[in-house]
Amino acid sequence: MTDPVYAVDPPSVRLAVPLDALIAVYHRPSGATHLLAAPSPELLDALADGPADAASLRDRLAAHYDLNGEDDAVGAIAARMEELVAAGLAWRA
Amino acid sequence: MSHAARLLVAALRDPTSVATLGADDWTALLTAARAERLIGTLAHRLDTRAVPPGVARILADAAEGAAQERRAALWEAEMARRALAPLGVPVVLLKGTAFVAAGLDAGQGRSIGDLDILVPRADLPAVEAALLDAGWEWVKDDAYDDAYYRRWMHELPPLIHRDRDRMIDVHHTILPPTARPTPDAAALLADAVPLGNGLSILSPADMIVHAAVHLFGDGDLAGGLRNLWDIDRLLREYDGTDFWAALAARAGHHQLRREVGRAVRLAHDLYATPIPPNWRVRRGADALYRRRLVARDGWGRQPYPFTRLGFYVRSHWLRMPPAMLARHLWVKARRAR
Amino acid sequence: MRHSHALRIGPVGFRVGSTWRAPITALRGLYAGYPTLKAEVPDLTVRLYPERPWRRWLRPSVAIGGDFWLPDAAPLPLAQGLLAAEMGMNLQVALGWRRHLLLHCSAVERDGRVLLMSGASGSGKSTLATLLALAGWRFLGDEFAFVALDDGAIHPFPRAASLKNEAVAAVRAAGGMVGPVLAGTPKGTIGYWRPPETAISRMTDAAPPKLLLFPRFGEPERVETMAPSETFVRLTQASTNYVTLGQTGFSALTRLVQTVPALAIGYPDSAAGLALVERLWSAA
What interface predicted TM-score (ipTM) does this complex get?
0.94
* Cα distance between residue B207 and residue B191, in whole Å: 11
- CB-defined contacts A:B, below 8 A: 18
* Cα distance between residue C86 and residue C141, in whole Å: 14
Q: Is C150 exposed, middle or buried (0-12, 13-18, 19+ CB in 10 A)?
A: exposed
* Cα distance between residue B131 and residue B135, in whole Å: 7
Nearest to A24 among C227, C246, C254 (CB): C254
Q: Does A1 map to a domain?
A: no
* Cα distance between residue C32 and residue C13, in whole Å: 15
* Cα distance between residue B230 and residue C85, in whole Å: 35
**What is the pLDDT at residue A64?**
83
**What is the pLDDT at residue B309?**
45
Residue B310's Cα: distance from chain center in Å? 20
Give the β-pairing of B159-161 and B136-138: antiparallel
* Cα distance between residue B15 and residue B271, in whole Å: 12
By the 8 A CB rule, do B265 and B208 touch? no
Q: Which chain C residues are closer than 8 Å to A21 by Cβ? A: 227, 229
Helix, strand, coil share of chain A (percent; to 5): 40, 25, 40
Look at residues C248, C202, C254 and name the one whose alpha carbon lies nearest to residue C231. Answer: C254
Phi, psi of B206 (to 5 degrees): -65, -35
* Cα distance between residue C199 and residue A27, in whole Å: 39
Q: Please indicate whether, in this complex, the C-beta atoms of A31 and B72 are within 8 angstroms of each other.
A: yes
**What is the pLDDT at residue A85?**
93
**What is the pLDDT at residue B281?**
85
Listed range (A63-72, B281-290, C109-118) with the worst mean pLDDT: A63-72
State the angle between helix axes of B257-271 and B204-217 in degrees (0 to 180), rounded to the nearest 10: 90
Give the β-pairing of C209-217 and C113-118: parallel
* Cα distance between residue C183 and residue C197, in whole Å: 27
Q: Please indicate whether, in this complex, the C-beta atoms of B30 and C246 are within 8 angstroms of each other.
A: no
**What is the pLDDT at residue B319?**
53
Q: Which chain B residues are closer than 8 Å to A86 by Cβ? A: 135
Domain ranges in chain C are 3-96, 101-283
- Stronger pLDDT, A64 or B277, i.e. the higher one: B277
Q: Does A46 map to a domain?
A: yes
Q: Which chain A residues are closer than 8 Å to B79 by Cβ? A: 88
Look at residues C41, C69, C38, C251 and name the one whose alpha carbon lies nearest to residue B57. Answer: C41
Listed range (A73-87, B290-304, C18-32, C110-124) with the worst mean pLDDT: B290-304
DSSP line for A26-60:
EETTTTEEEEE-TTHHHHHHHGGG--B-HHHHHHH
Strand partners for B118: B92, B171
Domain ranges in chain B are 3-336
Q: Please indicate whether, in this complex, the C-beta atoms of A19 and C258 are within 8 angstroms of each other.
A: yes
DSSP C240: S
**What is the pLDDT at residue B263?**
95
By the 8 A CB rule, do B104 and B142 touch? no
* Cα distance between residue C125 and residue C35, in whole Å: 26
**What is the pLDDT at residue B8?**
98
Domain that residue A61 falls in: 6-92
State pLDDT tens for residues C235-257.
999 999 999 999 999 999 999 99
B3-336 has which CATH code? Answer: 3.30.460.40
Question: What is the nearest CA distance from B178 to chain A, expressed in angstroms?
Answer: 37
Three-state DSSP class for residue C203: coil
By the 8 A CB rule, do B31 and B296 touch? no
* Cα distance between residue C248 and residue C256, in whole Å: 12
Helix, strand, coil share of chain C (percent; to 5): 35, 35, 35
Q: Give B139-148's long-range contacts (Cβ < 8 A, gap of 24+).
A: B139/B167, B144/B331, B144/B335, B148/B328
Q: Over pLDDT 70: what percentage of chain A? A: 96
**What is the pLDDT at residue B306?**
47
Exposure pattern of B165-196 as b/e (b: 16+ CB <10 Å)?
ebbbbbbbbbbbebbebebbbeebbebbeebe
Pick left, alpha or beta for residue C246 (phi over 0 → left; psi -120 to 50 → alpha; otherwise beta).
left
Which chain B residues in 221-260 lie under 8 Å from chain A, judged by CB atoms?
none
Which chain B residues in 277-316 lie under 8 Å from chain C, judged by CB atoms?
299-301, 305
Q: Does A85 map to a domain?
A: yes
By the 8 A CB rule, do B154 and B171 touch? yes
Pick left, alpha or beta for residue C166 (phi over 0 → left; psi -120 to 50 → alpha; otherwise beta).
alpha
Three-state DSSP class for residue C51: coil
Residue B41's Cα: distance from chain center in Å? 14
Q: How many CA atoms lie within 13 Å of C263's alpha carbon, on the beta-carbon side?
A: 17
Q: Does A67 map to a domain?
A: yes
Q: Please indicate whether, in this complex, the C-beta atoms of C42 and B57 are within 8 angstroms of each other.
A: no
Nearest to A31 among B71, B82, B135 (CB): B71
* Cα distance between residue C186 and residue B182, in whole Å: 50
Q: Please indicate whether, in this complex, the C-beta atoms of B68 and C49 are within 8 angstroms of each other.
A: no
**What is the pLDDT at residue A2?**
75
Nearest to C41 among B27, B35, B300 (CB): B27
| pLDDT, one tens digit for every residue, chain B (337 residues) | 789 999 999 999 999 999 999 999 999 999 999 999 999 999 999 998 999 999 999 999 999 999 999 999 999 999 999 999 999 999 999 999 999 999 999 999 999 989 999 999 999 999 999 999 999 998 876 666 676 667 666 778 889 999 888 999 999 999 877 767 889 999 999 999 999 999 999 999 999 999 999 998 755 677 899 999 999 999 999 999 899 999 999 999 999 999 999 999 999 999 999 999 999 987 778 888 888 888 889 999 886 554 554 554 455 555 555 455 555 554 554 454 3
- Stronger pLDDT, C107 or B315, i.e. the higher one: C107
Q: Does A58 map to a domain?
A: yes
Give the β-pairing of B91-93 and C262-267: unpaired
Q: Where are the alpha helices (DSSP H) in chain B?
A: 3-13, 23-35, 39-45, 53-84, 95-101, 124-133, 143-152, 185-190, 204-217, 224-238, 241-253, 257-271, 286-293, 305-319, 322-336
Strand partners for A7: A91
By the 8 A CB rule, do B268 and B311 touch? no
Cis peptide before A41 (omega within 30 of 0): no
Look at residues C13, C75, C144 and name the one whose alpha carbon lies nearest to residue B53. Answer: C13
Nearest to B68 among A29, A31, A88 (CB): A31
Domain tally, chain A: 1
